[in-house]
Amino acid sequence: MTPTARLQAAIDLLTEVLATPRPADAVASAFFRARRYIGAKDRTDVAEKVYGILRRWARLHWWLNRAGYGGANADGTAQPAVDARALLIADELLTRGRSASSVAEHFNGGKFAPLPLEAHERALIQALETHTLEHPQQPDAVVAEVPDWAADTLRNALGERFVPEMQAMLGAAPMDLRVNPVKGTREQALAALAKAGVQAEPTKISALGIRVRNRFPIATLKAFQDGLLEIQDEGSQLVAFAANPQPGQQVVDFCAGAGGKTLAIAAMMANKGRVIACDVLDGRLKRAQERFRRAGLHNIETRPLKSARDPWVKRHKGRFDRVVVDAPCSGTGTWRRNPDARWRQLGPGLSELLPLQAEILDSAARLVRPGGRLVYATCSLLPEENQDQVTSFLASHPDFTLLPVTEAWPEGMGAPPSTNGMLSLSPARHDTDGFFAAVMVRKEAAAGAPDADELEAEEAGEDATET
């Protein structure tokens, strides 16, 4: 493709991303599948242009608003709208350092090229020429690319670390792999990667992690196809370490999703015991089953739930040694991977998520046996979704106590990053996605107290009476 054709393809893709209520990666995948004629290098260039704009969204909009876009004039007339063309023009000038004439000549209306510039676009080019993306008058939230709905909370939580922590979210996330100990060792995995030409090294915190340093289609590797390797961020791997499941135990992954943590948990149990992967999205569980088979893990069952209060939970009260709740959340910890999530609400907002998290945690806690552990985790940096949820849960569930994550951690697996006894990870400090986890223990039943079977029989009798 010519440079002008790549620019038009980027305009087309960004237009689809902005118009489609789906995550940007899903939109991009569909876009390129429908255009098989676009080669690999061109796909990379087009995608980088679009994802770069999503990562520079606030700063680009600050400049566009300054240049008279997206608002109203003094006489009440509308200013030009901020669209994909305006964003690409601004990015070419401010980020890539193109000259005004260079940008203008690409909008020539030729075959596969963008349509000729309109008058307001020519004025935009003149207004932005010679400027760079950063400006001393930009507010901290703009510099850090943080949306209004999260800015105050993150600023209060992070204090003086607010800007550097958020700026660490602006680059692309690295690719991390997790070694499946059922299939082999990290040393064997590193050797297999090196043989295939993959530049990789052990992760700094996870004893099972590997970080890939060069672009490579990991899914084509025999080590991946044979189940020795799984793609999983180092931070996500550490949530399984916080659970520290033991061989032979009974474990529930209450919000299993695509099964990444389920795989890590089952492998830590050496294929012994029982892991039940639950989720309200049955389709995700079905797709995860192929991952379970590839990993050679046969101690996993799947259990679709109708809701957090599914009757299955009540029937299995007090039966499990470990219950992991990777709760649905704002995803603020994964903004490196999903830069559009900052600016587009494609699922429940924070006001809906907070009560949902509390309900899920409250229901899942019923599954924990006396002496068993409940692990609450999110990929969020917001205290409301993390420490505040744990504090609230413990206040309303006096039969649970917080277990410091340093005490829950597996022996020989290093030391976990801990804040007030809870796992707390961020890109700036740990070069992982932002993850949170807290481990809570259910107190042992007092002497003479009814056990889980007695409680279940009693509840069954109550249900029969109600019927």
Residue list, annotated binding site: 279, 326
| 3-class DSSP assignment, residue 122 | helix
Measure Cα distances from 437 to 60, 168, 295, 391 in Å.
Answer: 35, 21, 25, 13
Residue from 159, 99, 163, 102 nearest 134 by CA: 163
465 contacts: CB under 8 Å, gap ≥ 6: none
Strand order of the β-sheet with 175-179 is 200-202, 209-212, 175-179, 229-231
Torsion from C-alpha of 452, 455, 460, 465, nearest 10 degrees: 180
Q: Which residues of 304-317 are buried (b: 16+ CB within 10 A; e: fewer)?
A: bbeebeeeebbebb
Measure Cα distances from 312 to 254, 322, 326, 371 in Å.
Answer: 12, 17, 19, 21
Look up tokens 């930009």; give the residue. Answer: 138
Residue 440 forms beta bridges with which residues?
374, 402
251 neighbors 226 (Cβ within 8 angstroms): no
Active site positions, annotated: 379
Tokens of 289: 């089953």
Look up tokens 């193109």; give the residue. Answer: 98
What letter would DSSP give residue 411?
Answer: T
Measure Cα distances from 184 to 225, 226, 234, 254, 268 in Å.
Answer: 13, 11, 18, 27, 12
Residue 300 forms beta bridges with which residues?
275
95 neighbors 101 (Cβ within 8 angstroms): no
2 neighbors 9 (Cβ within 8 angstroms): no
Residues annotated within the binding site for S-adenosyl-L-methionine are 279, 326
191 contacts: CB under 8 Å, gap ≥ 6: none
